[in-house]
Amino acid sequence: MNINNTFQGLIDLVIPLTVFLITIASGYILRKILFKKLIRLTQNTTFNIDNIIIESIKGPFIIWFIMLGIYLGLEVSKATEETEEIVNIAGKILFILGTFSVTIALTNIFTKIIKAYSGKIQTALPLTSLTQNIGRIVIFAIGLLVILNSLGISITPILATLGVGGLAVALALQDTLSNLFAGVHITIAKQVRIGDYIKLESGEEGYVTDINWRTTEIKMLPNNMVLVPNEKLTRAIITNYYLPDKEMAVLVNLGVHYNSNLKKVEKITCEVAKEVMQEVSGGVSEFEPFIRYHTFDDSSINFTVILRAKEFVDQYLIKHEFIKRLHERYRKEGIVIPYPIRAINYSQEEGEK
């Protein structure tokens, strides 16, 4: 009798274990065959979404089969009142874990697709940490609602409780929420975007590297990071050097001696400026530089040379090369850039006495 009970117990243990192992083995084989074919098919496609989906589900795929194997193993085990209750509880736990893992996989797919196609969707919704986190929260919220619904939990009382508690939290986190909504406004308005070169009224300037739930990150040219609270950024006076487009005028102020031939100065200056536009990296080659005389100064006739750069930081190299080449050309042509001087009219001073 004891032998029969022992034998029966072994059978009751072996069958669920066998089902569990068969399920895992089937999942492993299916993973090998299925993903091998899918990878081969995706090599012939021009878009990248299929590759992202395959990479995102390849990892958790075998985990899903392990959970399925545990569930099926419990289902085929000998049904008693105790085991039935264990199976029900285990089934709910496995469903929750499965839903959670699917939610994580969908979040990864969403994030990778957004990053891969950020250039195409940038005009619709800029890619920032804030927009990515909002997307993750939405997906996780949907997964949580599915889990609660499967457990038979009504979400109406939870929403009511969150509504009452949310008011207290909003009052306690007033500054944080103001920065959050300011970040949303900055992102949607698209007046300050990731990659733009901006200058604040306080003097800080640099590239916008990220807009998160609290601050906007600005990377300055010396490789320092400035963190500006979103709420302050919405109230600041900002110069965006990338709007309406990246190209910008580069102004160089100069002066020549009063005895200079101004037509010759204009011709030579424009020739050097055109040469710089065509040869220096960052110059707009099709732009025709020009000059404008504007001041009879104490020791020189002053004018401004107008060049054009493809973006803000290009102006530094353009000015560097232009001044260097123009100085050399002026020296060859005999054009004088005078030192600042003051002339005292002695005869006039004597006349006043």
Q: Are 231 and 310 found together in one domain?
A: no
Assigned token pair, 8: 């029966």
pLDDT on residue 177: 78
Residue 52 lies in a domain: yes
Residue 127: CB partners within 8 Å, gap ≥ 6? 114, 115, 118, 121, 194
CATH number of the domain to which 237 belongs:
2.30.30.60
Residue 300 lies in a domain: yes
210 forms beta bridges with 217
The type of residue at 271 is: E
Q: Per-residue confidence at 157, pLDDT binned at 50, 70, 90? A: low
Q: In what order do the strands lie in the sheet with 290-296?
A: 248-256, 301-309, 290-296
Q: Are 29 and 54 found together in one domain?
A: yes
Q: Is residue 68's pLDDT more than 70?
A: yes
Q: Is residue 101's pLDDT more than 70?
A: yes
Q: Which of 68-82, 154-168, 202-216, 262-276 has the lowest mean pLDDT?
A: 154-168
Q: What angle do CA 34, 36, 41 make, to 5 degrees?
A: 95
Q: Which of 69-73, 141-145, 169-173 has the lowest mean pLDDT?
A: 169-173
Residue 219 or 37, more confident: 219
CATH number of the domain to which 279 belongs:
3.30.70.100
* Cα 187 to Cα 3, 120, 129, 275, distances in angstroms: 73, 16, 10, 40
Q: Is residue 80's pLDDT more than 70?
A: no
The type of residue at 11 is: I
Range of the domain at 206: 153-244
Q: Is residue 277's pLDDT more than 90?
A: yes
Q: How many CB atoms lie within 10 A of CB 183?
A: 26
Residue 266: CB partners within 8 Å, gap ≥ 6? 291
Q: Are 170 and 270 found together in one domain?
A: no
Q: Are 15 and 109 found together in one domain?
A: yes
Q: Is residue 207's pLDDT more than 80?
A: yes
Report which DSSP code applies to 310. Answer: S
Query: Cα–Cα distance between 282 and 271 in angstroms, integer?
Result: 18
Reference 268, options 340, 318, 325; nearest CA is 325
Q: Are 10 and 75 found together in one domain?
A: yes
Q: Are 97 and 170 found together in one domain?
A: no
Residue 308 lies in a domain: yes
Final residue of a structural domain among 116, 132, 165: 116
pLDDT on residue 1: 47
Q: Which of 78-82, 250-254, 330-334 has the lowest mean pLDDT?
A: 78-82
Q: Are 201 and 268 found together in one domain?
A: no
Q: Per-residue confidence at 200, pLDDT binned at 50, 70, 90? A: very high
148 forms beta bridges with none
pLDDT in tens, 21-53: 787 788 778 777 777 777 777 666 666 666 777
pLDDT on residue 174: 67
Residue count (the chain): 353
Residue 137 lies in a domain: no
Mean pLDDT across the stretch 250-278?
95
Is the Cα dihedral 168, 169, 170, 174 positive or negative?
Answer: positive
Q: Is residue 297's pLDDT more than 80?
A: yes
Residue 236 lies in a domain: yes
Residue 147 lies in a domain: no
How many domains does the structure of the chain reveal? 3
130 in Cβ contact with 184 (< 8 Å): yes
Q: Are 94 and 29 found together in one domain?
A: yes
Query: Cα–Cα distance between 145 and 103 in angstroms, integer?
Result: 11
Residue 82 or 224, more confident: 224
CA atoms within 13 A on the CB side of 207: 12
Final residue of a structural domain among 244, 260, 285: 244
Q: Are 194 and 212 found together in one domain?
A: yes
Q: Per-residue confidence at 116, pLDDT binned at 50, 70, 90? A: low
Residue 131 lies in a domain: no
Report which DSSP code applies to 79. Answer: P
Mean pLDDT of the chain: 78
* Cα 281 to Cα 74, 79, 272, 285, distances in angstroms: 70, 78, 15, 9
Judged by DSSP in three states, 124 sits in: coil
pLDDT on residue 327: 94
Q: Are 254 and 184 found together in one domain?
A: no
319 in Cβ contact with 280 (< 8 Å): no
Q: Per-residue confidence at 183, pLDDT binned at 50, 70, 90? A: confident
Q: Is residue 165's pLDDT more than 90?
A: no
Reference 250, options 327, 326, 315, 294; nearest CA is 315
Q: How many CB atoms lie within 10 A of CB 273?
A: 26
Going along the chain, which residue ranges are E strands? 197-200, 205-211, 215-219, 225-229, 238-240, 248-256, 290-296, 301-309
Judged by DSSP in three states, 288 sits in: coil
The type of residue at 283 is: G
Place of tokens 């193993």: 73
Query: Cα–Cα distance between 323 and 335 in angstroms, integer?
Result: 14
Residue 61 lies in a domain: yes
Q: Are 178 and 267 found together in one domain?
A: no
Q: Are 254 and 227 found together in one domain?
A: no
Final residue of a structural domain among 244, 261, 276: 244
pLDDT on residue 170: 55
